[in-house]
Amino acid sequence: MPIPEDVTGEEIDKDVRQELQSLPKTLADDVAKNLVMVARLLDEDPDGAYGYSRVALRLASRVAAVREAAGFASYASQKYGEALAEFRAAKRMTGNIDLWPVMADCERGLGRPEKALDMAGAPEVHKLDKAGQVEMRLVAAGARRDMGQLDAAIVTLQSSELASNSVQPWTARLRYAYADALLAAGREDEAREWFAKAVEADRDGSTDASDRLAELDGVEFMDALGEDEGEGGEASAEEKD
């Protein structure tokens, strides 16, 4: 697959670069460039990222960072079986348990929420950092919802992290998941409160909490220009009847 001229391979994380030092320099550079493309395309073009990850995998399948990148590319492309296999391989190579929550989410993607819940109760969870434990809680709540256990999902998300007023990297997603579970359970007033709290914490727009809140408030955003607007007109918001 073609590599843009502006990609040098030097853009990758220094720890990954160190891993690649076990390879011949030319090969390491080629792998690094493909990993850069995986990272660049992962969010906007998952299938493209997947293609570059397969190239890196063919070149250096014994490098843990390559297996991890291939796992995330497969996960983003909803190829959950492949993702799980790659994450397991990376975990075997490094002994690192940071991938445990996303491995559990792959089990959900494969239609095995019970397995995800088993992983949520495994000893590995206690070895995760705070961010990893919150991520595991989100996966476990999702598994409960997969099984139709809405009340259990709500309880799963109730935690000191949810109750805290401090804003952490995971706060917006945790509040959003809680609001969404409340709404699914028909608790609309509480859901609105927590979507609003998610908006307050969502400083980088990682969720669509503001849109969900507007929907609950009956606000409809009009994309088309109104009849009386000129070329410089802006989209307006109207209250639904």
Helices (H) and strands (E) in the chain, counts: 13, 2
Phi, psi of 60 (to 5 degrees): -150, 65
Q: Is the dihedral of CA 176, 182, 186, 188 positive or negative?
A: negative
Phi, psi of 237 (to 5 degrees): -115, 135
For 55-96, how does the pLDDT look when each residue is reduced to its tens digit (9 = 90+)? 999 999 999 999 999 999 999 999 999 999 999 999 999 999
* 76, amino acid identity: A
Q: What pTM value is reported for the model?
A: 0.85
Looking at residue 218, its pLDDT comes to 83
The pLDDT-based confidence of 163 (bands split at 50, 70, 90) is very high
For 183-232, how does the pLDDT look when each residue is reduced to its tens digit (9 = 90+)? 999 999 999 999 999 999 998 888 999 999 999 888 765 554 444 444 44
Closest CA to 1 of 29, 34, 31, 43: 34
Burial class (CB in 10 A: 0-12, 13-18, 19+), 193: middle
* 74, amino acid identity: S
Looking at residue 223, its pLDDT comes to 53
SS3 117: helix
The pLDDT-based confidence of 234 (bands split at 50, 70, 90) is very low
Contacts 24+ apart (CB under 8 A), 112-121: 113/142, 113/143, 113/144, 113/146, 113/147, 114/143, 114/147, 116/140, 116/142, 116/143, 117/143, 117/144
Mean pLDDT in residue range 151-177: 95
Looking at residue 221, its pLDDT comes to 54
SS3 75: helix
Give me the count of residues in the chain: 241
Mean pLDDT of the chain, nearest integer:
91
Mean pLDDT in residue range 139-160: 97
Tokens in use for 80?
């959950």
